[in-house]
């Protein structure tokens, strides 16, 4: 991977590159659309060539899609796939404990990594899809979302997908096999989960962002790591992959 950043990457490009770096070579990854898809493509191209991507519609790929996608069923996701199975087949891999990492989006996240994609006030959102299963059963999951106070809530308005519930050993006590949220990545910084409390802790801020900026847009008293660092900028190779899969900048533009 190139360590030379291009000039002035956008906050969302920093965000998606940070997510890509969480994917390890050889892992089985449940891939969502838009930013998760771009993160998977970066990882496949640059540091995780043997990672396997699962898509909710049953597609299994050992390469990135051939071109940008609008839906998971688009021809570039079908062509060259290892297998085109069905929903039950890929969900069965979750139940077997074979999925290493899930990449998820959300409308809301709270201080313990719980996600809401169902309802905010009177507004009905798209709902869970497979996100509840992924959050419950994958060995770990990562969340990508814009950082706004109305989305980083003290407590989510509706619990769609479980993080660490009210905190502590809640996942163990409720019988959830997966490890829960490993990282929450926004366009301001990256949070990791404290292993004892289950609470999100700010571990990096993106270039040009201060801790006060994060606190201003977060609805709880943010814990900050004593070893807080700056998120590395994406290199030129990472940005080239982003440009290929987000040609018009709809997902990662300014």
- Write out the residue range of the structural domain in which residue 62 sits: 1-99+233-249
Q: What is the value of pTM for the model shown?
A: 0.92
**197 and 240 share a domain?**
no
**158 and 206 share a domain?**
yes
**25 and 114 share a domain?**
no
Given this model, what pLDDT does residue 175 score?
A: 93
Residue 213 lies in a domain: yes
Is residue 246 within 8 A of residue 67, CB to CB? The reply is: no
Percent of the chain with pLDDT over 70: 97
Residue 254 lies in a domain: no
Q: Distance between CA atoms of 68 and 77, rounded to whole angstroms?
A: 9
**43 and 153 share a domain?**
no
Mean pLDDT of 204-225: 97
**90 and 143 share a domain?**
no
Confidence of residue 138 (pLDDT cuts 50, 70, 90): very high
**Which residues are designated catalytic?**
56
Residue 123 lies in a domain: yes
Domain total for the chain? 2
Which residues fall within 8 angstroms of residue 212, CB to CB, at 6 or more apart? Answer: none
Query: What average pLDDT is seen over the chain?
Result: 93
Residue 152 lies in a domain: yes
**216 and 239 share a domain?**
no
Residue 156 lies in a domain: yes
Task: State pLDDT tens for residues 66-121.
Answer: 988 888 889 999 999 999 999 999 999 999 999 999 999 999 999 999 999 999 99
**50 and 126 share a domain?**
no
**158 and 185 share a domain?**
yes
**90 and 147 share a domain?**
no
Asked if pLDDT for residue 3 goes beyond 70, the answer is: no
Residue 145 lies in a domain: yes
Task: State pLDDT tens for residues 166-181.
Answer: 999 999 999 998 899 9
**35 and 95 share a domain?**
yes
Q: If you search the block for the tokens 């890929």, which residue do you land on?
A: 90
Asked if pLDDT for residue 2 goes beyond 50, the answer is: no
Given this model, what pLDDT does residue 213 score?
A: 98
Confidence of residue 7 (pLDDT cuts 50, 70, 90): low
Given this model, what pLDDT does residue 202 score?
A: 98
Of 94, 131, 129, 112, the C-alpha closest to 196 is 112
Mean pLDDT of 196-223: 97
Residue 171 lies in a domain: yes
Q: What is the CATH number of the domain that holds 198?
A: 3.40.1080.10
């Amino acid at each position: 991977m190139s360590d030379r950043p291009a000039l002035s990457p956008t906050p969302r490009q920093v965000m998606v590159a940070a997510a890509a770096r969480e994917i390890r070579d050889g892992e089985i990854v449940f891939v969502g659309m838009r930013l998760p898809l771009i993160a998977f493509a970066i990882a496949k191209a640059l540091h995780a060539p043997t990672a396997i991507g699962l898509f909710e519609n049953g597609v299994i790929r050992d390469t990135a899609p051939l071109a940008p996608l609008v839906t998971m069923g688009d021809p570039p996701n079908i062509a060259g796939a290892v297998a085109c199975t069905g929903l039950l087949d890929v969900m069965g891999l979750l139940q077997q404990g074979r999925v290493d990492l899930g990449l998820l989006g959300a409308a809301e996240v709270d201080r313990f990594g719980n996600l809401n994609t169902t309802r905010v006030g009177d507004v009905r959102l798209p709902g869970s899809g497979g996100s509840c299963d992924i959050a419950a059963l994958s060995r770990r999951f990562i969340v990508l979302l814009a950082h706004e106070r109305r989305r980083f809530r003290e407590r989510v308005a509706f619990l769609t997908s479980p993080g660490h519930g009210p905190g502590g050993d809640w996942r163990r006590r409720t019988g959830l096999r997966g490890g829960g949220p490993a990282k929450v990545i926004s366009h301001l910084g990256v949070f990791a989960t404290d292993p004892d409390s289950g609470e999100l802790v700010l571990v990096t801020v993106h270039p040009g962002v201060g801790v006060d900026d994060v606190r201003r847009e977060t609805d709880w008293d943010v814990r900050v790591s004593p070893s807080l660092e700056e998120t590395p900028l994406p290199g030129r190779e990472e940005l080239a992959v982003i440009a290929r899969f987000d040609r018009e900048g709809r997902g990662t533009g300014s």
